[in-house]
Amino acid sequence: MSKLRWIFIGIILILLYAPIIVMIVFSFNEANSTSIFEGFSLRWYKDLFQYGGDLLGALRNTLVLAVLSSVISTVLGTVAAVGISKMKKAWVKSSVMSVTNIPLMNPEVVTGISMMLMFVFVGKMLDLANSVNFFTILIAHITFGLPYVILNVLPRLRSTDKHLTEAAMDLGCTPVQAFFKAVLPSITPGIIVGFIMAFTMSLDDFVISYFTNGTYQTLPLLIYSMTRKPMKPDVYALESIMFLIILVLMILLNVIQNDDKKKGARLKK
């Protein structure tokens, strides 16, 4: 029985990883092909760093955008979560939460288009030459990163002792000091998870960027434009490196959450 279980799990995992394994294998291809393997070589990795200026430039753009947008989402989202957790009227709270959920629930195409329509309209009114540009794609990425931060920080705030702030203030802290000294440490794990999620979502986003980027080229957008023709394996080489980075990030995230759970268990004891 347990053997059958692992066979089933294995088959599905092979299915999930087939294209990724093929990608990694062909990134080491000697030939200029993503479907015929002619021998092992590191040529495409060398090519990537020597001539892959477009790809590396797009990667740099993607990283700049992901870092900026996830940092801003994290700060704005954490402040928002604290605000939401203090809201007293139930209907206000639930309507704010509904709006927060919209970017998660709405199809990405619709989110992308809705923003593009607004940016184009405003751009026309202000007579701008480029109504979509770096700032519009940044706004878009901050916006879809926010719910991940808020929804990860809110449960933390809920489980934080309400009297913690009061105790800190009785001991002479101002409300702001009380937040930084008493509340912040206990919600930090939620903030970190929210930040990493916002960061990876930004890194990988294609659909929303596609409608809000203007001339700011990110890696997914560049690759999209390249797939209309057969691609060279240098793209696979770059994506294989990205795979490795994401793998490390995920393991890190896992370790943080695990540590945190252990700490929580110890506190309960």
Partner 1 sequence: MTKAKSGQVALNAPYLLWAVAFIVVPLIFVAYYAFTTADGGFTFQNIITFFTHKQYMTVFWRSMLYALWATLICLLIAYPFAYCMSKVNMSSQRMLMLLVMLPMLMNLIVRTYSWQQILERNGLINKLLESIGLEPVQFLGNAGVIIFGMVYNYLPFMILPIYSSISKVDKSLLEASNDLGCNAFGTVRRVILPMSLPGILSGITMVFVPCVSTFYISRQFSDGNIKMIGDVIEDKFYRSSVPDYNIGATISLVLMLIILISLAVVNKFSDGDDESGGGVVI
Of residues 230 through 249, those in contact with partner 1 by CB under 8 A are 231, 235-236, 239, 242-243, 246-247
One-letter amino acid at 254 equals: N
List beta partners, residue 29.
Answer: 40
Length of the chain: 269
Among 126, 162, 227, 269, binds partner 1 (CB under 8 A): 227
Structure tokens of 117?
């329509």
Give the rounded distance of the alpha carbon of 204 from its chain centre.
Answer: 7
Residues from 99 through 128 that contact partner 1 (CB under 8 A): 99-111, 113-118, 120-121
Least Å distance between CB 89 and partner 1? 12
Q: How many CB atoms are located within 10 Å of the residue 66 CB?
A: 21
**Which of residues 40 and 121 has its CB atom nearest to partner 1 in the complex?**
121
Nearer to partner 1, 195 or 236 (CB): 236
Counting beta carbons within 10 angstroms of the beta carbon of residue 48, is it exposed (0 to 12), middle (13 to 18) or buried (19 or more)? buried
Among 48, 65, 137, 146, binds partner 1 (CB under 8 A): 146
CB of 238: closest distance to partner 1 in angstroms? Answer: 9
Q: How far is the CB of 186 from partner 1 (least distance, A)?
A: 18
Which residues face 40 on adjacent strands?
29
Question: Given candidates 220, 241, 256, 260, which one binds partner 1 under the rule CB under 8 A?
Answer: 220
Write out the binding residues for partner 1, residues 178-197 only, by CB under 8 A. Answer: 193, 197
Please tell me whether residue 56 binds partner 1 under the rule CB under 8 A: no
For partner 1 (CB under 8 A), the number of binding residues is 85
Q: Which two tokens stand for residue 108?
A: 């990405």
CB of 97 to partner 1, least distance (A): 9
Angle at 169 (CA atoms; ends 167, 171), nearest 5 degrees: 75
The single-letter code of the amino acid at 210 is: Y
Among 59, 61, 70, 147, binds partner 1 (CB under 8 A): 147
Q: Annotate each residue in 59-98 with x if it binds partner 1 (CB under 8 A) or - if it does not, as one string.
A: -----------------xx-xx-xxx-xx--------x--
**CB 200, min distance to partner 1, A:** 5
| Cα–Cα distance measured from residue 67 to residue 103, given in angstroms and rounded to the nearest whole number | 20
Cα angle: 181, vertex 185, 187; to 5 degrees: 125
| Identity of the residue, 39 or 175, whose beta carbon is nearer to partner 1 in the bound complex | 175
Give the Å distances, CA to CA, from 77 to 47, 88, 126, 143: 41, 19, 29, 10
Q: How far is the CB of 68 from partner 1 (least distance, A)?
A: 15
Using alpha carbons only, how large is the chain's radius of gyration in Å? 23
